[in-house]
Amino acid sequence: MGSPVVLGIESSCDETGAGVVRGGRLLGHALASSMEEHARYGGVVPEIAARAHVEALRPVVREALDDAGLGFADVGAVAVTTGPGLAGALQVGLAGAKGLAYALGVPLYGVHHLAGHVAADTLEHGPLPDPCVVLIVSGGHTSLLLVRDLVRSPIAHLGDTLDDAAGECFDKVARVFGLPYPGGPAVDRAARTGNPRAVAFPRPLAGSPDHPYDFSFSGLKTAAARWAEGHAGRALPTADGAASLQEAVADVLTRKAVAACAEHGVGTLVVVGGVAANSRVRSLAEERCRAAGITLRVPPLRLCTDNGAMIAAVGDLLVRSGAEPAPLDLSVDPSAPLEYAALHPVGARVATR
């Protein structure tokens, strides 16, 4: 018998995603977003997100299975994001996953959201090389990792953000620039007609010997806000500001990632997460990896942002590795650190943290 069909469910923030994977191959997926409901507030409202997940979960799961040409009877395991993320949003996905796993009589696996982003690349490019350096860049997370076996080995952190994540910086500066939410895509669009050298924005922690691979985007965010304030009463050259901001973020991210590959003797860099969809981050990573003789892997745009396919991908890897399923009292951990791909917290353990 071949590998079982794994249904993955993602509900950590404002996207409700479901994906179907078997043997490393994506069979179908579907996504619903509540982004428009949050846009009027300039950011994600947790209660709105949770209610949207309740409404979207069932049709999204059905759509993913239909996309795969399968039914519930074909599902052999269920994987679900159990952290990190918004507590209420995570609870909706977990409740749905538990119900499905129980009704179908199949094992349930809790998955770390960030491990899902890493695994998303395998659906496009195949198994990850051992080792590889992974740069995760999203709205809430910026980390540089050394990954060996994603589901069997502990994940080593080479560096993390000390304050704002790259995507958070984009969102906050976009608001100051008068650009719509979400800020990342808005900055990318505005930057197309701008001069990336127009504003000399700082490169935080660019050469810090104590934090060679850590990131800090709070100072960059403040510098961009001060620059905008300096144009009070005058037209803000938004395109130049956006292009210069984007260049600063891409410069810091890619410079450190390529340096980490060189120091650790790793020949492959994998860039994942929502900010991996940014055009300048992708192009500068390609340029610097090519110059350094490093293989660059970036998932297609549809797999960069939060989705259920990436959670199913981790579940598929866990099943094929013989990992133990989650216990029946599986809970969520909204602030879970990334240590292993499987995340199986239980209520009592979380409550004592």
Rounded-to-integer distance, Cα 253 and Cα 274, Å: 14
Instruction: State mean pLDDT over 265-285.
Output: 97
- % of the chain surpassing 70 pLDDT: 98
Average pLDDT, the chain: 94
Confidence of residue 40 (pLDDT cuts 50, 70, 90): confident
Rounded-to-integer distance, Cα 283 and Cα 8, Å: 31
Kindly tell me if the per-residue pLDDT of 47 is higher than 70.
yes
State the pLDDT at residue 280.
98
Instruction: Count Cβ atoms within 10 A of the Cβ of residue 207 and give its class: 0-12 exposed, 13-18 middle, 19 or more buried.
Output: exposed
Kindly tell me if the per-residue pLDDT of 347 is higher than 80.
no
Kindly tell me if the per-residue pLDDT of 349 is higher than 50.
no
State the pLDDT at residue 209.
82
Kindly tell me if the per-residue pLDDT of 176 is higher than 80.
yes
**Which of 28-37, 268-277, 326-335 is least confident?**
28-37
Kindly tell me if the per-residue pLDDT of 314 is higher than 70.
yes
Kindly tell me if the per-residue pLDDT of 1 is higher than 70.
no
Instruction: State mean pLDDT over 187-211.
Output: 91
Confidence of residue 19 (pLDDT cuts 50, 70, 90): very high
Neighbouring CB atoms inside 10 A of 306's CB total 27
Confidence of residue 42 (pLDDT cuts 50, 70, 90): confident
Q: Which residues contact 207 (CB under 8 A, 6 or more apart)?
A: none
Kindly tell me if the per-residue pLDDT of 203 is higher than 80.
yes
Instruction: State mean pLDDT over 93-102.
Output: 98
Kindly tell me if the per-residue pLDDT of 21 is higher than 90.
yes
Rounded-to-integer distance, Cα 326 and Cα 82, Å: 11
Kindly tell me if the per-residue pLDDT of 35 is higher than 90.
no
pLDDT one-digit tens code per residue, 108-166: 999 999 999 999 999 999 999 999 999 999 888 999 999 999 999 999 999 999 999 99
State the pLDDT at residue 2.
82
Confidence of residue 331 (pLDDT cuts 50, 70, 90): very high
Rounded-to-integer distance, Cα 292 and Cα 270, Å: 14
CA dihedral 125→300→94→150, nearest 10 degrees, is 30
Higher pLDDT, 208 or 12: 12
Confidence of residue 348 (pLDDT cuts 50, 70, 90): very low
State the pLDDT at residue 353.
35
- For residues 97 and 78, the answer to whether their CB atoms sit within 8 Å is yes
Confidence of residue 352 (pLDDT cuts 50, 70, 90): very low
Tell me the three state secondary structure of residue 16: strand
State the pLDDT at residue 351.
39
Q: Is the peptide bond before 182 cis (omega within 30 degrees of 0)?
A: yes
Instruction: Count Cβ atoms within 10 A of the Cβ of residue 285 and give its class: 0-12 exposed, 13-18 middle, 19 or more buried.
Output: buried
Kindly tell me if the per-residue pLDDT of 184 is higher than 70.
yes
